[in-house]
Amino acid sequence: MPPRRLLVFGLLPQDSGKTTVASAICRGLQKAGVAVAPFKPRAGHNLWYQYDAYLRCRSEGRLYCEDIIKLRDASRCPLPYELLNPIDALFTPLKAENLLQEGMGRELYLLEENIYTHLVVERYTMW
């Protein structure tokens, strides 16, 4: 039988429950004996909000998101995180005191909306 594909999406870019729903689907299919390989093509995560995942990545010398950890665990997929999540970016909160010292307090809100002002590192995996 050819592989089946299922796309889970949400109306909000974050916190809409996509990972929770996808994890439940992966877990259910895996328990039913179906081989499952979750795929999160691009992810970005914040050091502040996902600090435990960051510490895990740092200890392994790798970069992948908390969502793919949950999805891989739910599916029991043996593939490496980097294959399941080929593009990943790590962001960090802006240091407000630095901007205030530079007289850029008014720009703080605008800069926070621009993710590239606080991008730390981005990983691309080519297979």
Residue-number span of the structural domain to which 83 is assigned? 18-124
Residue 3: per-residue pLDDT: 82
Does residue 24 form part of some domain? yes
Least confident of 2-6, 16-20, 55-59, 64-68: 2-6
In a domain, residue 3? The reply is no
Tell me the pLDDT tens digit for each residue of 43-93. Answer: 988 887 888 998 999 999 999 999 999 999 999 999 999 999 999 998 876
Yes or no: say if 99 and 127 are a contact pair by the CB < 8 Å rule.
no
Q: Is 13 a member of any domain? A: no
Is residue 83 a part of any domain in this protein? yes
120: left (phi over 0), alpha (psi -120 to 50) or beta: alpha
Residue 101 lies in a domain: yes
Reported pTM: 0.78
- The Cα 77–Cα 16 span in angstroms is 24
Residue 39 lies in a domain: yes
Q: In this predicted structure, what is the pLDDT of residue 48?
A: 78
27 belongs to a structural domain: yes
Residue 110 pLDDT grade (very low, low, confident, very high; cuts 50, 70, 90): low
pLDDT band for 20, please (50, 70, 90 cuts): very high
Report pLDDT for 92: 78
Do 72 and 38 contact (CB within 8 A), yes or no? Answer: yes
Assess if residue 4 is contained within a domain.
no
What DSSP state is assigned to residue 115?
A: G
The token duo for 90 is 């790590």
CA–CA distance, 43 with 68 (Å, rounded to integer): 9
Q: What is the mean pLDDT of residues 15-27?
A: 94
* Total of domains in the chain: 1
